[in-house]
Amino acid sequence: MKRCGLLFTFVAVFFFSLGFAGYSDIQTAEAAREIKLGAALPLTGALATEGKKQRAGYEIWRERVNAQGGVNVGGKKMKVKIIYLDYESKTPTATKLAERLITREKVDLILGPFGSGATKSVGAITERYQIPLIAPVASSEPIFDQGYKYMFGMLAPNSFLPNSFFELIKKQKPRPRTMAFATRNDFFPRYITKAIRSQAKKNGFMDVYYAEFPKDSKDHSTWLTIVKSKKPDVLMIAGYLPDTLLATKQANELGVNPKILFTMVGPVYSQFTDALGSTANNILTAAWWGEALDYKGDFIGSASDFGKIWRKKFGKEPDYVAAASAAAGIVAQRAFEAAGTLNKQKVRDAIAKTNLQTFFGPVKFDKRGQNTSSAIVLFQVQGGKRKTVGPPSVANGTFNYPR
Binding interface with another protein (CB under 8 A)? 1-9, 11-12, 14-16, 18-23, 26, 43-44, 86, 88, 90-92, 95-96, 99-100, 103-104, 117, 120-121, 124, 127-129, 142, 146, 185-187, 190-191, 212, 214-215
Minimum gap (Å) between residue 284 Cβ and another protein: 24
Closest CA to 130 of 353, 348, 330: 348
Q: What's 340-403 look like in SS3? A: CCCCHHHHHHHHHCCCEEECCEEECECCCCEECCCCCEEEEEECCEEEEEECCCCCCCCCCCCC
Minimum gap (Å) between residue 85 Cβ and another protein: 8
Strands 361-363 and 356-358 come out as antiparallel
Based on CB atoms, which residue is closest to another protein, 64 or 100? 100
Minimum gap (Å) between residue 199 Cβ and another protein: 19
Closest CA to 360 of 316, 317, 307: 307
Minimum gap (Å) between residue 158 Cβ and another protein: 13
DSSP SS3 for 143: helix
- Cα 290 from Cα 269, distance rounded (Å): 10
Closest CA to 303 of 357, 377, 373, 361: 361
Based on CB atoms, which residue is closest to another protein, 85 or 300? 85
Based on CB atoms, which residue is closest to another protein, 140 or 380? 140
Based on CB atoms, which residue is closest to another protein, 129 or 209? 129
Minimum gap (Å) between residue 275 Cβ and another protein: 25
Based on CB atoms, which residue is closest to another protein, 18 or 67? 18
The sign of the torsion formed by the CA atoms of 311, 317, 321, 326 equals positive
> What single string gives the DSSP state of each residue in 201-237?
TTTT-EEEEEEEE-TT-S--HHHHHHHHHH--SEEEE
Torsion of CA 187, 263, 365, 341, to 10 degrees: 80
> What single string gives the DSSP state of each residue in 84-106?
EEE-TT-HHHHHHHHHHHHHTS-
Based on CB atoms, which residue is closest to another protein, 119 or 333? 119
Minimum gap (Å) between residue 241 Cβ and another protein: 18
Based on CB atoms, which residue is closest to another protein, 151 or 330? 151
Minimum gap (Å) between residue 334 Cβ and another protein: 28
